[in-house]
Structure formats: structure tokens, C-alpha cells
Chain A
Amino acid sequence: MIEVKNIKKSYGKKQVLNGVSFTADKGEITCLVGINGSGKTTILNAIMNLTPIKSGEILIDGAELTKKTYEKIAYIPDTITMLSSMRIEDAFLFMQDYYTAWNEKRAEDLLTFFKLTKDEKIQHLSKGNKAKVNMILGLALDVDYILMDEPFSGIDIFSREQIADVFTSHLIEDRGVIITTHEIQDIEHLIDQVVLLDDGIVVKQFNAETVREEEGKSIIDVMREVYRP
């Protein structure tokens, strides 16, 4: 389980996170929803220790992050985290070199699934294909948790469908996924937990099925209530 406990952060005078708390379980897809600039990316960066927090605590399976945690949790930011001069093959080699959790077979399978070839240079790929390669770099790691920052934003509809397919495949099975988005439509029926952010705090965390069952509301209905008082 990933536990985010009362984390605070500010950039200069601007308070970005104002005591954010939520949990994300293994085997579930947790979605952080909020408008742009609501601190979603900052939360993911903070979980990965890529940006310092002022106060609060983040625990992964009950422990603070160490260098070994990077074999257990993968991050897929919204831009590709490989040198653009590399070919896909080089990027895979790089991953293989450093991560024992790297699963080359899975990477190759994903490449076939996304209809990409190894000898393509990253800088020559379209935006959608870059996003796919970026996904592969995270998904081909045998990790317990995957964090994805806006995997659907700014890419073509077909790439979006392909990426959405990943969520219902064995690639995600039993893993804990945290995904951020400002558009819920694409993944409404894919997610388990929803965390609504506004003004640097969690305004609501709920289970999507429970809300449908007990209140007869869709995720969008709940968002409407929360964001439009």
C-alpha cells in the first residue's frame, strides 16, 4: 500500500499541497483527479522522492523510500525519460543494465502489442508512440506499483485506446496503480478508487463502484458536486 500522509509543499509563496492524504492499494487502480495545476504531478514526484516536501510522510508498504524501492515502484511521467538520441533498443538495454526488475520478454511483447520496432530512434517517434515507449519502460519492470502521470493527455485517440487496453490486461494485474488525469471519461470504468484534489487538498476519496451502488451517481456526478458548489 502507498500511504500519503498529510503532505505539504509550496513553491515560494504558492502553497501547492496543503496537507494531502490518501492511500492506494495493491491490485487497485487509484485515480488522482484535479484541474491542471492542482498538484497531481507534484504528488507523484513526491512519492518518487523527486521533489522535497515541507512536511508529512509517504510510506510504501509501510516503509520510507530508499534506493531499493525503485525496484518496487515505477514512474511513468508525462514526458519520456530516456535520451532522445537513443533507439528503443538502447533504451531497453539501459533499463536492463540498471534494474534487476526489468523484464525484457515483457518489454518485447509490449513493443509488438504497440506495433513498434526496436531500431526506431526515440526522437523520430510521434507523440503517441513516444508515450507508448515511455509506458513500456515502466510496465516492463516487475514492480508492485506503477505511477502514471496523465497517460492520455495530448495523444491521438488510437494511441489512447491502446494504452487504455493495457489497464485491462495482465500487465496491470495485481499491481497497484496510481494514475493522474484531468479528464476522467477515458477511464471511468477502469478505475477503482478516485481521489479528488482541489486547492492542494483531497476533497474526497471514494470507490467508484460503491458510489454507483449506494448513491446511484457516476464519477462525473460526484465531481460536479465537489467542484461546482
Chain B
Amino acid sequence: MKSFLKLLNFEFNRFFKLYIGIFVCMFIFQIGGTIVSSLLYKKQINKLVNQGAGQNTITEQLEPFGLLDVTYSLYFLGPLFIGLISILFYTFFIWYRDWIGKNTFIYRLLTLPTSRMNVFYAKLATIFITGLGLMAFQLFLMAIQSKVIAFIIPKVYRSDLDLMSVVYHLDITYMLLPTDVTEFIFYQYIGIVVTVVFFTSILIERSYRMIGNVYALLNIGIACLIMLAPLWSATFFGYNYLYGKEVILLVLLSSSIVLILSLVFSHYLINKKVTV
């Protein structure tokens, strides 16, 4: 446990610079974008005011502006996707960076007097925590964006929605930060299982190299097949055979099977098959 925490701290520090870079990028683009679009909106209002339009005319002519408008923009979704893709990319890079380059750090990691699975779990936890952190940061940015809009645009022209409603409206944020606690845990759990499957595939490639690429893809395919089996079966047995909740439970079950098999397989690979 002690080694795991040390390794987690170590892995996190290695990602830190890049991670902060993502945050800074998101902050600049999202907040900047919000300021600019709010100001542009205000300019439109002012233009109408200068033309002598009254408040009622303006609200009739212009759609009210709010956080929801911001979230559908490129300057919002772009940086968010970049952030998510970076984490996804890092899911692979967190392993490959130890093999590539002149400093073959993998020699050190694999010869530490601790279980090699601690290395695995430390990398897994790093991905999980940074992923979660990214979403938390997004939420924080959205709160700021909402304040920015409130600061620039008078209340009458705004459509004020509370943060959770906005999250609920937007597919991408809803997927990552469901407002319902059970759903939130469910999605996080699936996220962990998917990451473990990726990690196992990386270890397969690192163990079998060329032909390993094929096995790795096969591994991902089989994992998908098992995890989504409850969904296929719904169509197979005919519609409405299972209730939505039952399907969720079955997905939970099939994911757990994939998780356990993947961990057992990874344990075997990292201890017996992996090559530096």
C-alpha cells in the first residue's frame, strides 16, 4: 500500500506539467471565449438601444443569453475535448513513456522490490484521478463563466440556469458528470473498466510486440463484446424483455467480469511476459 501511494504520487507528478497545461488552455479559451461572446452580445443590445429600441423590443428580437449558449460553442467544447483527448492519449503514454527514449525507466519500475501490480494500479489511479479532476475543473470553469455572463449582461437579457441544469442539458458533460449519484458511480466504474482493458492491451503489445498488436485489438474487441452483451441480448430476446434497470445491472455484472479477467491477465503479463 505504501509503495502504491508513493508510486501514485510519483506518476501524478510526472503528469503534472502537462495536466496543468491542459487546465491553463481550458481556462484561457473558455473564459476568454465567454468574455468575448458576452461582450458581442452586449454590443448587439447596445446597438438596439442606440436605435431607440425599448427593453421589450430587445427581448423580443434577441434570444436571451446564458451559460447554455456558451456550452454549445466551439471555444467551450473544443478545449474540453482537447482535455479529454489528452487524458485518453496519456492513458497510453503513461506506459509507453517508460519504454521509449534513452532513459529506459521501465527497467527501474519493474525491478522495484514491490509488486509490479502496484505500478499498474498507480498508473490506473493517476488516469482516474486526473480524469475526475478535469471534470471538476470544468465544473468550476462553468461556475466562473456563469459569473462572467452575469457581470457583463444585465439580468433581463439573460437566461439564468443553475449549473446542474446546464450539465444535465449537455450530453458530453452529462455523460461525464451525471447529476444522479448512482449514475455518476456507474459511469466512473465503466470508465475504470475501460481503462483497465486499455492497460491490458498495452501490456499485451509490450509482451508480444508485433503480433501483440493483433492480440491487443482482439482483447479490446472481446472486452466490448462481453461488456455490451446485455445490450445485444435485449435485441436478441426481443424488445422490452429486460427493464432498463436490469440491463444496467447486467452491464455492471458483465463489466465486472471483464474487469476481473483483465486484472488477472494483466497480473500474469506484467509478471511473466512483459519485456523491457
Contact = CB atoms under 8 A, between A and B. Distances in A.
B105 A81 contact: yes
Interface in A37-84: 45, 48-52, 67-71, 75, 77, 79-84
A204 B90 CA distance: 48
Contact of B276 (A50, A67, A68): A50
Contacts of B210: 12
B102 to A, nearest CB: 6
B113 A45 contact: no
A81 B103 contact: yes
A177 B168 CA distance: 64
Contacts of B111: 48, 50, 70, 75
Contact of B108 (A12, A68, A69, A81): A81
Contacts of B276: 45, 50-51
B169 interface: no
A98 B114 contact: yes
A80 B6 contact: no
Contact of A52 (B6, B101, B275): B275
A206 interface: no
B108 A82 contact: yes
Contact of A67 (B101, B102, B113): B113
A49 B271 CA distance: 8
Contacts of A12: 210
Contacts of B233: none
Interface string A81-102: 1111000000000100111110
Contacts of B72: none
B112 A50 contact: no
Given A67-B116, A98-B112, A99-B113, A77 B14 contact: no
A125 to B, nearest CB: 11
A122 interface: yes
Contact of A51 (B105, B108, B275): B275
Contacts of A48: 110-111
A75 B107 CA distance: 9
Where chain A touches its partner, the secondary structure class is loop
Nearest to B276: A50
B272 A52 contact: yes
Given A50-B276, A51-B276, A75-B111, A84 B116 contact: no
A79 B103 contact: yes
A50 B113 contact: no
B118 to A, nearest CB: 9
B112 A70 contact: yes
Contacts of B104: 77, 79, 81
Contacts of A83: 14, 103, 105
Contact of A98 (B3, B110, B271): B3
24 contacts: A12-B210, A48-B110, A49-B110, A50-B107, A50-B276, A52-B272, A67-B113, A69-B113, A70-B113, A75-B111, A77-B104, A79-B102, A79-B103, A79-B104, A80-B103, A81-B105, A81-B107, A81-B108, A82-B108, A84-B102, A98-B3, A98-B6, A98-B112, A100-B113
Given A67-B112, A77-B104, A99-B113, 16 more contacts: A45-B276, A48-B110, A50-B111, A52-B207, A52-B272, A67-B113, A69-B113, A79-B104, A80-B102, A81-B103, A81-B104, A82-B103, A82-B108, A94-B10, A98-B3, A98-B6
Interface of B: 3, 6, 10, 14, 101-105, 107-108, 110-116, 207, 210, 271-276
